[in-house]
Amino acid sequence: MMVSKNCLRFGCLAGLLLLINSPVWAQEEAGLHPATARAGRVFKIYQFTPETMPQIDGIASDWDRVPSSYTYGTTELNDTEDGHGTDIDTSDIDVTVTVGWVKGLNRLYVLYQAYDDFWDFERFNPQGYLNDIFELVVDGDLSGGPFIYNPLLPEARKWGASPAHVQNHLAFSGYHAQNYHIFTPPVRGSWTLIWGSQPWIATFPYAHRAYSYDFTQGEAGKLTLEFWITPFDYAPVEGPQQAKASQLVENKLIGLSWSVLDFDGGERDGHYNLSHDTRMVSDASYLCAFRLMPLEGDQVPDFKADWSFSLIENRERTVAFRDESVGAIESWHWDFGNGDFSTEQHPLYQYPESGVHYNVTLEITGAGKTDRKTRFWEVMIP
């Protein structure tokens, strides 16, 4: 985690170190995961391929391929603040949430679908309506701990009442985990309020969204919201130039949870959340563990050639080739682009000259099938 000049000036460094060293979200060891919310249960994030990734248009059909085991509904929620507990009347509010990812993109894709018997919006209008909210919190590197109020600045909780509140907001709030108060539906052209000092995380190219609904204030109906966001390990007030996006890789655990704030005519009817602890909104130690899952079987090709390569340090003009093909492979045939060949699965090859681009091809065979993968001009020998 990076530390800004503002943090040093406002004395927040100790608070950041407290978060970095939080034992609650220590990295996985011996097959254990660090989650505390939901008794350590691990939820799943579906992996899309680049060819099947959702188009953000408010139409949910892109998600039809996702197995139902990736979708979490109203029965998973608990109203830990307004008295309903897990006994939630689905004729009043009924929601489903599905989360996806794409290898190579540090984005989380979310499909939120909700039925409400009274949609309350226009939060800031003179009538005083409050907005129904889908509140999403993400901690992409499991750093855990408070992320809204610095525990070393107790005066920070006094909204606008002390310089400490401003200092906390500018140098701490939302830096290592992010809270999105998403308006359902959007308000005056705004789709979310970022509880933190970095509203830029909700703008393109760091986020994108689309809605579909046909109700008006006070009516019943169904809302579909599709969006993607970019989690950040470090998201400073200064902007994206100094930010560090969370790296999303297969089988990684991240911290994630959501709340549904349901207002009916200006009065809050419930605060339903996946963590079963409303402290999730400001302390990442109360988020749930979500795993970035490998591709499901229907997304994995039966037989496909693929490979990668890397230059070997301290060995002049030497390249390590790695087979990454899929299927029941019986033989490999590498064409190094200069008339030389290999039948090894993972060959190591020393090129005879430097300063040349090579077109390298791997051909695989097996079970009566053949496939090839060529990388054009990618293997360059310095």
pLDDT-based confidence at 11, cuts 50/70/90?
Answer: very low
Q: Which of 243, 269, 295 is the last residue of a domain?
A: 295
Residues 81 and 149 grouped into a single domain = yes
CATH number of the domain to which 370 belongs: 2.60.40.10
For residues 340-368, average pLDDT: 96
Torsion, Cα 118 265 132 68, to 10 degrees, reads -30
Residues 320 and 184 grouped into a single domain = no
| DSSP secondary structure of 329-356 | --EEEEE-SSS-EE--SS-EEE-S-SSE
Residues 104 and 182 grouped into a single domain = yes
Mean pLDDT check: name the lowest of 164-168, 218-222, 264-268, 367-371.
264-268
Using the predicted structure, report yes or no on whether residue 89 has a pLDDT greater than 50.
yes
Q: Report the C-alpha gap between 339 and 124 in whole angstroms.
A: 71
pLDDT-based confidence at 69, cuts 50/70/90?
Answer: very high
Using the predicted structure, report yes or no on whether residue 22 has a pLDDT greater than 70.
no
Using the predicted structure, report yes or no on whether residue 340 has a pLDDT greater than 70.
yes
Q: Which residue has the higher pLDDT, 156 or 225?
A: 225
Using the predicted structure, report yes or no on whether residue 13 has a pLDDT greater than 80.
no
Alpha helices in the chain (DSSP H): 5-9, 13-20, 163-171
For position 124, what pLDDT does the model report? 56
Residues 197 and 114 grouped into a single domain = yes
Amino acid at 320: A
Residues 91 and 117 grouped into a single domain = yes
For position 3, what pLDDT does the model report? 38
Mean pLDDT check: name the lowest of 37-41, 91-95, 333-337.
37-41
Residues 318 and 276 grouped into a single domain = no
For position 82, what pLDDT does the model report? 77
Only one residue has tokens 């998403």, namely 182
For position 28, what pLDDT does the model report? 43
Using the predicted structure, report yes or no on whether residue 103 has a pLDDT greater than 60.
yes
Mean pLDDT check: name the lowest of 3-7, 239-243, 320-324, 351-355.
3-7
User: What is the tally of structural domains in the chain?
Assistant: 2
For residues 256-285, average pLDDT: 91
Residues 368 and 348 grouped into a single domain = yes
- Nearest Cα neighbor of 168 from 12, 272, 22 is 12
Q: Which domain holds residue 348?
A: 301-381
- Nearest Cα neighbor of 183 from 227, 127, 139, 230 is 227
For position 35, what pLDDT does the model report? 54
Q: Report the C-alpha gap between 101 and 297 in whole angstroms.
A: 16
Q: Which residue has the higher pLDDT, 150 or 160?
A: 150
pLDDT-based confidence at 36, cuts 50/70/90?
Answer: low
Residues 343 and 373 grouped into a single domain = yes
* Average pLDDT in the chain: 88
Give the angle subtended at the CA of 199 by the CAs of 63 and 128, to the nearest 5°: 85
Residues 46 and 143 grouped into a single domain = yes
Residues 308 and 269 grouped into a single domain = no
pLDDT-based confidence at 34, cuts 50/70/90?
Answer: low
159-199 pLDDT, tens digit per residue, is: 766 788 888 889 999 999 999 999 999 988 899 999 999 99
pLDDT-based confidence at 123, cuts 50/70/90?
Answer: low
Residues 348 and 267 grouped into a single domain = no
Q: Which of 257, 274, 295 is the last residue of a domain?
A: 295
What number of CA atoms fall less than 13 Å from residue 161's CA on the CB side?
A: 7
Residues 283 and 355 grouped into a single domain = no
CATH number of the domain to which 54 belongs: 2.60.40.1190
Token pair recorded at residue 36: 């505390």
Mean pLDDT check: name the lowest of 54-68, 157-171, 314-328.
157-171
Instruction: Collect all residues with Cβ–Cβ distance below 8 Å to 241 and sequence separation of at least 6.
Output: none
Token pair recorded at residue 65: 């391929």
Q: Which of 273, 295, 317 is the last residue of a domain?
A: 295
For residues 285-302, average pLDDT: 92
